[in-house]
C-alpha cells in the first residue's frame, strides 16, 4: 500500500513539523468535534428538562451507564490507534493497515456482545444500580435505545481513532457536524412537534450515529484509504489481537471504572432523591463544557507520541506531552471562567418554573465540581502520554485509585456523617485532586527514568549527524 502525496506530507509534518503548530493543527478540529459531542448531551438535557425533572434524572442516570458501556469500544479504539500509529510513524504502512482492520473487527464483535447483554438484562441492571423507581418508569425505553446506539458509537470511535492516527482530523470534524445536525433536527421534531418523550431523544442519537457508521464503512473499505479493510485479510490472529488487547484491556477497564464510578455515585446519590441526581448531573454537565474541549488534546497527544516513538524520537514524544498540557490547561481555564461568568444565564435552561431550590442545589454541587475541570485535564494529558508509550496500566491504576480509594469511600463516610447533597460535588473535587497529585508523582519518576536510561533503544538526547 502506497501513501498518497497528501498523506505523505501529513505524516512528515507530524514527525518533523513545529510541534506547537502540529498539535494545534491536529487538535483544533478535534476540539470543535469535542464541543459538538458535548453539545449532544447538553441539548438532550435541555430538551428533556422541558418534559420534567424525573426525565432529567433518568437521562443523567442512564447516560453514565452508557458511558461505562462505551468504555469497551473506546478502549479498543485507543489500543488500535496506538499500535497503528506506531507502525504508521515507522513507515510500515502494510502492518498499520492490517492492525487497523483487526481493531475495527474486534470492536464490532465486543460491542455487539456487551450491548446484547445490557439489552437482555436492562431492567435488572437499573434495579441493581439502585435507580429510583421514577427513573426506571420514565427512562427504560431511553435506556434500551441508548444501549443499542453504543454499539454504533463504538464502531465509529475506532474509525475516528484511525483517522486521528493518519492526522486526518478535519474529516472527523466535518462528518460529526453532519451527524450532530441531523441529531438536533430530529430531536427538535420529536420533542416539540411530535410531543414525544425521552425515548425519541435517544432514537435521534441512534439514527445519526447509524448514518455516521455507514460513512465510516465506506471509508474503511475505500481503495484510497491507506488503512483499507480487505475481507480476505480479516483474520483474528493472536499475533495481531494480543498487542492491541495488551493496551486496550487496561484502557477500557480504566475508562469503564471511571464511568461506572459516576454510575455508583449516582446510585449513592439516590438517597437524596431524584432531584439531587438531576442537579448532580447538570452540575457535571456544566463543568464538562470546558473539559470536553481541553481533553481532546489527550487524543491528539497519544497519536503524535506513538508516531514519534515509531520514528525513534523519544525527545519529541516527551515534548508533545509538555505542549499538549499547556494548550489543554489554557482551554480549561478559559472555559471555566466563561461558565462561571454565565452561570446565571445557563441555569434557567435546566430549571422549569424558576425552581429556586433546584437552582441552589446545582450551584452548591457545582461550587466543588468546577475544579475538576482543571484536575481532570492534567490527569487526562498524563495518562495520554503513558498510553502513547504503551503503559496503559498506569491509566488503569489511576482510575482504580480515583474510584475505590479517593471517591467512593469518602462519599460513604460523608453520608454516614449525614452530610447533605453537597457531598456529591466535594467527593468529585477531592478524588480528582488527589488523583492528579498521584499522577504527577508517577510522571516525575517515569521522566527521571527515561532521562537517565532512555526508552527501549531510544535516548532523550539523540545525536545529530
Reply yes or no on whether the pLDDT at 385 is more than 80.
yes
CA 334 to chain centroid? 21
Q: Is residue 464 part of a domain?
A: no
Residues 378 and 381: their CA atoms lie apart, in Å, by 5
Quote the CA–CA distance of 5 and 9 in Å, as a whole number: 6
Averaged pLDDT score across all residues of the chain: 81
Write the DSSP symbol of residue 103: H
pLDDT above 70: percentage of residues in the chain: 92
Q: At what angle do helices 238-269 and 53-89 cross, to 10 degrees?
A: 160
Listed ranges 44-53, 59-68, 318-327; the one with the highest mean pLDDT: 318-327
The answer to whether residue 459 is domain-embedded is no
**Residue 243 in domain:** yes
Q: What is the count of structural domains for the chain?
A: 1
In a domain? residue 399: yes
Q: Let me know if residue 138 belongs to a domain.
A: yes
Query: What phi, psi does 350 have (nearest 5°)?
Result: -110, -15
In a domain, 282, yes or no: yes
3-state secondary structure (DSSP) of residue 395:
helix
Give the three-state DSSP class for 455. Answer: strand
Place of cell 446565571: 344
How many CA atoms, within 13 angstroms, populate the side-chain half-sphere of residue 148? 14
pLDDT at 465 over 50: no
Query: Cα angle at 385 between 381 and 390, to 5 degrees?
Result: 140
Q: Tens digits of per-residue pLDDT, 200-253?
A: 888 888 898 888 888 888 887 877 777 777 776 667 777 778 887 888 788 778
Judge contact between 150 and 73, C-beta under 8 A. yes
Classify residue 465: in a domain, yes or no. Answer: no
69-110 pLDDT per residue, tens:
777 777 777 777 778 777 877 777 788 778 888 887 888 887
Q: Which residues of 235-244 are buried (b: 16+ CB within 10 A; e: fewer)?
A: eeeeebbebb
DSSP 124-149: HHHHHTT--HHHHHHHHHHHHHHHHH
Residue the block writes with cell 487538535: 27
Q: Which three cell numbers stand for residue 397?
A: 491504576
Q: Which domain holds residue 355?
A: 5-453
C-alpha cell at 403: 474510584
Three-state DSSP class for 458?
strand
For residue 460, being part of any structural domain is answered with no
Question: Whole-angstrom distance between the N-terminal and C-terminal Cα of the chain?
Answer: 31
Amino acid at each position: 500500500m502506497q501513501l498518497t502525496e497528501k498523506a505523505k506530507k501529513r505524516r512528515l509534518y507530524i514527525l518533523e513539523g513545529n510541534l506547537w503548530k502540529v498539535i494545534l493543527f491536529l487538535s483544533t478540529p478535534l476540539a470543535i468535534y469535542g464541543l459538538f459531542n458535548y453539545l449532544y448531551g447538553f441539548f438532550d438535557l435541555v430538551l428533556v428538562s422541558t418534559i420534567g425533572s424525573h426525565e432529567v434524572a433518568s437521562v443523567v442516570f442512564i447516560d453514565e451507564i452508557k458511558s461505562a458501556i462505551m468504555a469497551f469500544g473506546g478502549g479498543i479504539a485507543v489500543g488500535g490507534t496506538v499500535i497503528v500509529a506506531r507502525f504508521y510513524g515507522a513507515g510500515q504502512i502494510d502492518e498499520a493497515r492490517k492492525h487497523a482492520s483487526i481493531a475495527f473487527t474486534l470492536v464490532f464483535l465486543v460491542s455487539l456482545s456487551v450491548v446484547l447483554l445490557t439489552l437482555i438484562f436492562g431492567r435488572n441492571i437499573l434495579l441493581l444500580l439502585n435507580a429510583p423507581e421514577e427513573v426506571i418508569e420514565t427512562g427504560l425505553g431511553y435506556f434500551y435505545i441508548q444501549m443499542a446506539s453504543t454499539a454504533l458509537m463504538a464502531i465509529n470511535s475506532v474509525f475516528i481513532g484511525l483517522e486521528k492516527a493518519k492526522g486526518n482530523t478535519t474529516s472527523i470534524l466535518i462528518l460529526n457536524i453532519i451527524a450532530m445536525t441531523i441529531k438536533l433536527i430530529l430531536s427538535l421534531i420529536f420533542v416539540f412537534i411530535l410531543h414525544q418523550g425521552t425515548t425519541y431523544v435517544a432514537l435521534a442519537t441512534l439514527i445519526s450515529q447509524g448514518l455516521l457508521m455507514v460513512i465510516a464503512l465506506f471509508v474503511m473499505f475505500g481503495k484510497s484509504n491507506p488503512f483499507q479493510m480487505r475481507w480476505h485479510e480479516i483474520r483474528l490472529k493472536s499475533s495481531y489481537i494480543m498487542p492491541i488487547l495488551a493496551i486496550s484491556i487496561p484502557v477500557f477497564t480504566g475508562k469503564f471504572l471511571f464511568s461506572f464510578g459516576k454510575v455508583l455515585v449516582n446510585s449513592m446519590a439516590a438517597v437524596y432523591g431524584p432531584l439531587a441526581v438531576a442537579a448532580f448531573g447538570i452540575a457535571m454537565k456544566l463543568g464538562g463544557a470546558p473539559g470536553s474541549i481541553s481533553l481532546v488534546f489527550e487524543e491528539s497527544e497519544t497519536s503524535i507520541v506513538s508516531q514519534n516513538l515509531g520514528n525513534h524520537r523519544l525527545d519529541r514524544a516527551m515534548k508533545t506531552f509538555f505542549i499538549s498540557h499547556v494548550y489543554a490547561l489554557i482551554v480549561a481555564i478559559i472555559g471555566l471562567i466563561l461558565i462561571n461568568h454565565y452561570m446565571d444565564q445557563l441555569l434557567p435552561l435546566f430549571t422549569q418554573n424558576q425552581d429556586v431550590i433546584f437552582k441552589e442545589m446545582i450551584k452548591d454541587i457545582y461550587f466543588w465540581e468546577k475544579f475538576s475541570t482543571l484536575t481532570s485535564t492534567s490527569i487526562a494529558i498524563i495518562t495520554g502520554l503513558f498510553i502513547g508509550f504503551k503503559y496503559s496500566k498506569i491509566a488503569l491504576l489511576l482510575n482504580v485509585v480515583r474510584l475505590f480509594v479517593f471517591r467512593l469511600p469518602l462519599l460513604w463516610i460523608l453520608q454516614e456523617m449525614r452530610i447533605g447533597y453537597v457531598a456529591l460535588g466535594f467527593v468529585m473535587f477531592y478524588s480528582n485532586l488527589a488523583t492528579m497529585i498521584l499522577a504527577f508523582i508517577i510522571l516525575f519518576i517515569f521522566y527521571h527514568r527515561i532521562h537517565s536510561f532512555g526508552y527501549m533503544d531510544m535516548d532523550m538526547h539523540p545525536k545529530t549527524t
